[in-house]
Amino acid sequence: MTNEELKVMLKKANLTKKAFSEIIGASNQAVNNWATRGIPYWVKSWLTLYIENKDCKELKEIIRANVCNDG
């Protein structure tokens, strides 16, 4: 994963590097250091699942608001 891919995925996840670091329990400095030291292998899959989960939650709320309350 490149730094540019990380930026794109964080934007898609609606996360800043600071918010991401807090969620994963790392320091903001550690996440910023990835720019020079390399991004850990697990970050791409973690963010992919985070984004998919966020999208599913949003879809669930849309369905709940528009289908489940029609009654």
The CA distances from residue 3 to 36, 37, 44, 61, in Å, are 9, 11, 11, 32
Tens digits of residue pLDDT in 13-71: 999 999 999 999 999 999 999 999 999 999 999 999 999 999 999 888 888 888 876 55
In the prediction, which pLDDT does 16 show?
A: 96
In the prediction, which pLDDT does 71 show?
A: 52
Local confidence band at 5 (pLDDT 50, 70, 90 cut-offs): very high
- Domains in the chain, number: 1
CA–CA dist 40, 42 (Å, integer): 6
Q: What are phi and psi of 65, to 5 degrees?
A: -70, -30
In the prediction, which pLDDT does 70 show?
A: 56
The CA distances from residue 45 to 6, 20, 25, 52, 68, in Å, are 11, 14, 17, 11, 32
CA–CA dist 1, 44 (Å, integer): 7
